[in-house]
Structure formats: C-alpha cells, structure tokens
Amino acid sequence: MTRLCIVRHGETSWNASGRIQGQLNPPLSTLGEAQALALADVLRNTRFDAIYSSDLTRAIDTAKPIARQLAQAFVTLRALRERHYGRWQGLLYEEIINVHPDAWRRHAERDPHHHPPGGESLTAFAERVRGCLAWLLTRHPGDTLLLVAHGGVLDIANRMVRDRPLEAARDFETGNAALNWIEHDAGRWRLRAWNDRRHLAGLRSIDHGDVALTPRSSTHPCPGRVSA
C-alpha cells in the first residue's frame, strides 16, 4: 500500500484578497506562515519515506518548516504546480468576471476543454496531475509520501480517488494547510481523510482557490530537484 498525505500551501495575501495566483509567486501571509508551522508540528511524529513540493514559492515555503522538523530533504516537482490561468493570473476574480464574463462562465461551469487566455485547460491540468501521481506510485511502491501542492491539485486528486468527473460541482473543501490522506493498494485508490484542520484550531482560514501549469517544454512527468 502506498499512502499519500497531500497538503495545500499556507495562505497568501492573494488568497485573502481573491486574486488569482497561477504560476506567480506571492509569499505566504503571516497567517500562512503560522499554518506552515502548525503543519510541521502536527506531522512531527509522522514517518515519510519522501517529501515532494510544487516548485512555486508558496509551496516551498510551506514545505521548509516541515522538512526541518522531520530532518529530511524535499524534492520540488513542476508537475505539482497549480493550474495555469494565463492572462488571468494576478487579477481579482471580480475583474475577470467584469472583463471576460463569457469565459468566466465557462470556467465556473467547469468546462473541461475551456482554458483562460494563454492558460491551461482543466483536461490538460488533470492529465498532468494524474500523470505525476502515477509516476510517484511507480517510484515509491509501499511508501508513505508527503506532497505540498495547491488547491487545484487537491481537486484533481479527490476526483480521481472518488471517480468523480471534472465537470461535476465541487462537493468538498481544499483548505490551506489542511491534511488530506489518500492511499493506493491492489490497483485501487481510497480516500482516508480529507480537509482535516484540527491542527489549525484558533487560526483564521481563507478558502479561495488558486491556480498554475507545467511548462510545455517539460519532457518528464515529474522533473524535480532536491532542496534542503
């Protein structure tokens, strides 16, 4: 059995203001830094065979205190980046709705083939995330892994495990710094825990979705580098 604990990065100021992040790199907010420390504390006695993180700053800065607590290195993966929102990145949701109402409608309806100007379709994003998880299974059979990623990655993982279509309305949460456990055994995925926030008690939580993309030039599903 291979077990994966997937966590979304801590909150950023753009999460709080409703600004789309994509591949841009706003830092963690003060709350986000506190959430990362809370993650490190709650995971201090958990044994992970490997730790992986998206290579975007907000994910790396969430992974660092966890890696320090566990005295482990972590590997950054482009394939764990959020969905790319193209020219929508850096804009407020209200700005997109006002300027691109038809395109936003298709996005809100979860049209799997729609992509923002210069961005990534939901179908392409899902293929990237599923491909990365499949790669991790082949690389780590029987291991327990920690993945530090993004809300969109969690969305795809949840739908994959539960066999839910991309078009279906989201019926689950993807809170910043929450714990999400899935496992794979005998060819089947199972969901064991989702959006566990008990370690965040007393911390305010913001749940705006955020978004990003694997560069077109990538030839490996999970190219990575090691970070201390």
Active-site residues, by number, are 9, 82
Q: How far apart are CA 126 and CA 160, in angstroms?
A: 9
Q: How far apart are CA 3 and CA 197, in angstroms?
A: 19
Write phi, then psi, for 69 (nearest 5 degrees): -60, -40
Q: How far apart are CA 4 and CA 186, in angstroms?
A: 15
* Sign (positive or negative) of CA dihedral 154, 158, 164, 169: negative
**Tokens standing for 133?**
């998880």
